[in-house]
Amino acid sequence: MTECVNVDKLGNSGTVGLVGLGTMGRGLARALARAGLDVQAVEPLGGEVAPLDGVTPRADLAAMVASLSAPRRVLLMVTAGDPVDSVLAALAPLLGPADIVLDGGNSHFRDTERRAAALAERGLLYLGVGISGGERGAREGASVMAGGPADAFDSCRDILEALAARADGTVCCAHMGPGGAGHFVKMVHNGIEYAAMQAIGEAWHLLCAGAGLDHAAIAGIFRQWNNGPLASYLMRITATVLETRDGGTGGSLVDVIADAAAQTGTGSWMVTEAMELGVPVPTVAEAVAARSLSAMADVRRAMAAGTEPAPLSADEAFISAVGDALLASLIASYAQGFAVIRAAAARYGWPVREETVAAIWRRGCIVQSQFLENIAAAYRRRPDLPLLLLDDGIAAPIAGAEAGWRRTVAAAVQAGLPVPAMASALAWYDGLRSGRLWTALTQAQRDLFGAHTYARTDRPGRFHTDWPEVE
């Protein structure tokens, strides 16, 4: 069973090998050393290890492995994909039975399961560890989502909990289940992150390009929102971004940053897996698509020639409506993400509990927010909750924001300002509350052109109609 662990139960002894001292790796190395662990570090390609207090540099993997006490524990902080496989190919022959490898990168959960199976044939244990929090989380404490054998997790608690943030007397670290469960939950975290950032970006764009407010004024609005239900790490950093001046131009830094956002792939992975599980995540999907659209800079500039969005009101009522739309869209993003976790746990037999995930996301990670307290409480009230919006404590704030949400989306559409996250979240919300959808017609069409059959509302079974021929 997954759980948040009391701080008093922490251990702080033993050695750990660390492969990869990039930005994240160096921050994590410091955290491990502060916790009293003996850190033996090596660069994955054998490069020189830059000096770091409390960390012993090693010339290569063999020297690092030789310096570790049994059972050896090695944390990989290398780029996801082929680099992980390359390191494992060189590392595995140096290890012995019961040694443990921890992958702390953003690996795809299916890759994690493949690697775990391959290492198990050598008698090695493998943990896929999702670590969220970015550079600051690496320095000050992250949210840690571990997957793999339970005994390997227990053997590495001192390592994992040394990396974790603390929230209300608990460590933001938990075992999500076997195999790739940890990396799966981290993938969902990143999908929610995509959606939340997109919704926040849309709120800023409406207030800036639509209502004509300057960045300082919008930063003030965001800081005010951060005092209420929208309180979150992303709100705080957004205000900071908008307040930051560019040393070269003297103007707002955000004005000279190209409007093309990169992506690591975890957002699209989540959308793909959600579709495989049959869980709609339109807000995450639109956020992924929005980043791809942003890269089409030449096309956008060509099509934008001679067009200007209609101005929007800058009055308090509209600003409040945008805040409502943002809150509702963020709640929808969380609800979609937790629905994916629930479906995956059922499909793969993982013991992950949504309450635990909400609890360990309260500190350290990118999507940490005040609203996660509401989410954890919802799952405490009803652990088998099929969708967050069915809890009164979640449904009430989204219903309270509905009028402002609708006003914001309608105003954006009328003005010609794109709000794909806010609009898709609203359509998802309306779809969930529709007793009968357009899909009766869709299924009839499928039966006409492909004889796919259909179910009826008045009796059980599958049916096919001999439809009239259509030219």
Evaluate whether 103 touches 129 at the Cβ level (below 8 Å).
Answer: yes
Q: What is the DSSP letter of 323?
A: H
How far, CA to CA in Å, does 81 sit from each of 108, 109, 112, 120? 8, 11, 10, 19
Element of type H or E holding 174: strand 173-177
| Residue among 161, 186, 354, 355 flagged as catalytic | 186
Evaluate whether 105 touches 79 at the Cβ level (below 8 Å).
Answer: yes
Q: Which residue, 81, 83, 75, is CA-closest to 99? A: 75
Q: Which residue, 435, 412, 40, is CA-closest to 199? A: 412
How far, CA to CA in Å, does 403 sit from each of 33, 218, 432? 52, 22, 17
- Other CB atoms within 10 Å distance of the CB of residue 119: 19
Q: Which residue, 21, 11, 55, is CA-closest to 138? A: 21
Peptide bond into 44 cis (omega under 30): no
Whether 193 sits among the annotated catalytic residues: the reply is yes
Rounded CA separation 18/138 (Å)? 14
Please name the residues in contact with 59: beta carbons below 8 A apart, sequence gap of 6 or more: 42, 46
| Residue among 193, 202, 273, 286 flagged as catalytic | 193
Q: Which residue, 337, 361, 239, 236, is CA-closest to 287? A: 337
Rounded CA separation 108/128 (Å)? 9
Evaluate whether 135 touches 23 at the Cβ level (below 8 Å).
Answer: yes
Rounded CA separation 350/344 (Å)? 8
Evaluate whether 322 touches 396 at the Cβ level (below 8 Å).
Answer: no
Evaluate whether 378 touches 393 at the Cβ level (below 8 Å).
Answer: yes
**Residue environment code for 59-93, b if the CB has 16+ CB neighbours within 10 A, otherwise e:** eebeebbeebeebbbbbbbbebeeebeebbeebbe
Whether 9 sits among the annotated catalytic residues: the reply is no
Evaluate whether 1 touches 353 at the Cβ level (below 8 Å).
Answer: yes
Q: Which residues are known catalytic residues?
A: 186, 193
